[in-house]
Each structure stands twice: as structure tokens, then as C-alpha cells.
Amino acid sequence: MNEGELTGQARTHIAMVADPECLLHAQVVAPFLNLRRAAAADGFDLVAVSGFRDFARQLAIWNDKFSGERPMYDASGAKLDAAALTPRERIEAILLWSALPGASRHHWGTDLDLVDRCSSDAGYQIKLTREEFASGGAFARLDRWLETHAPRFGFFRPFQGVRSGVQPEPWHFSFAPIAEKARQRLSPQVLRRAIAGAPLLGKEVVLQHLDALHARYVATIDLP
């Protein structure tokens, strides 16, 4: 991937999947559909509720959280008051659950948020919470299936709460053969160039601490 593709500012690496509808890296389409067919054989309707996400979308999420227009949560899931936090505290709180624009793994098209359409009642609002994937949750059975079978197709969970500063995301799967190359290429310098001219709230503080933020929330993941 080139810098634009790494940071979500280009989508020349992205292809459309028609059924189920989603955007993925062109080389991830076949592995995902193979995983989906295997899941279907065991009674799941596996879909990606989020695949590729561009820089502009990630920037909007970031700015909404930083300004308090979108809720922020602490590590336990408790809602935070953005107005009561310093800019550095807001940045650290956002990064527990959301990536910096330019640093989201979703920019690569290699990462998907997976759910089972068969596991919830009609009208159920998917929240993408750990409770949904825990015992008794709507996606508990899918969680166990993916833990066993996803690695056979090249997918792993990069955020398990072991090494990465990002909180555990049991729904988030990454296609290792491509994602690992992208992670290694996304240096602090590449990220700095991506966000330097963007209207990012808290940018001065982000740039001041970028090397440390990159090391904690971008470079360090729970490897397969």
C-alpha cells in the first residue's frame, strides 16, 4: 500500500463486496467470502458491519468525540464528560476505543467488525459491546466459532486487551497477511504527514505526543 492507502486518504486498494455489502481490500474479499461460507455451513449469517473506513469518516468520529458531541467512555465502559477532561485526557480516552484519523486499521480494508445476522431478533440494535460476545450475549456462539475457525482463513483479533492500549474488541478481525505489512509501514512519520494538515481537534497535543501514541495504540497489537 502507498501512504494514501495506509492512511485512508485513498481507496485505490478497495473493492466492493455485493453480498453482504461491504468495502474491503481487494485481496481480502476472497478470504472473507471463504470464511463466510464456512460460517454459513455451521448456521451463521456472517456479515461485516464495518469494513473500509476512510480518513474523513475517522476524522468526523474523532472530532465528535473530542468535542463531546459523541459519547466517550472509560476502560470500564462508563460514560465520560468531555468538558471535564484536559485535551490530553480526551485523547487518551478516545484512543481506548477509536483510532486516530490516519491510523485506523479500517483504512487498510483488511479489518472487519463481524456479527451474525441470525443471532439477533428482528429489530435488534447491534451495539458492538463485549457483553454481546460474552456468555449469554447475542453473539456468544459466534464468538466461540470465530475463535476456532477464523485463523484458518488468515483472520485474527488484534485487540484482545493483552498488549495493545486499545480495549478488547471481540468483534474486530484482521486479515493478517496484508494487515501486518501495513502496520509495519505505518510509521509515526507517515501518520504525522497525514494529520498535519487536517482539521483535527486536539492536533497540537496529538502531534506533541505522537511517537508515544503511535507506539501504544498503533504499533502494539495482540499478534496472532
Domain ranges of the chain: 3-219
pLDDT tens per residue across span 201-220:
999 999 999 999 999 999 99
State which residues of the chain have pLDDT below 50. Answer: none
Within 10 Å of residue 212's Cβ, how many Cβ atoms? 10
pLDDT at position 92:
94
Classify residue 143 by burial, with Cβ atoms within 10 Å: 0-12, 13-18, 19+.
Answer: buried
pLDDT at position 121:
67
The C-alpha cell that represents 132 in the structure block: 454481546
pLDDT tens per residue across span 86-104:
999 999 999 999 999 999 9
In the chain, the N- to C-terminal Cα span, in Å, equals 21
**How would CATH label the architecture of 3-219?**
2-Layer Sandwich (3.30)
CA distances to 36, 115, 137, 175 from 30, rounded to whole Å, are 10, 18, 29, 11
Which residues is 111 bridged to in the sheet?
Answer: 174
* Cα(9)–Cα(107) distance, integer angstroms: 8
Q: Read off the pTM.
A: 0.93
DSSP state of 158: S
pLDDT at position 89:
94
HEC sequence for 203-224: HHHHHHCHHHHHHHHHHCCCCC
* Cα(158)–Cα(206) distance, integer angstroms: 23
Element (H, E) at 113: strand 111-116
Contacts 24+ apart (CB under 8 A), 131-135: 132/171, 133/170, 133/171
Element (H, E) at 141: helix 140-149
Within 10 Å of residue 162's Cβ, how many Cβ atoms? 11
Give the position of cell 493478517.
Answer: 176
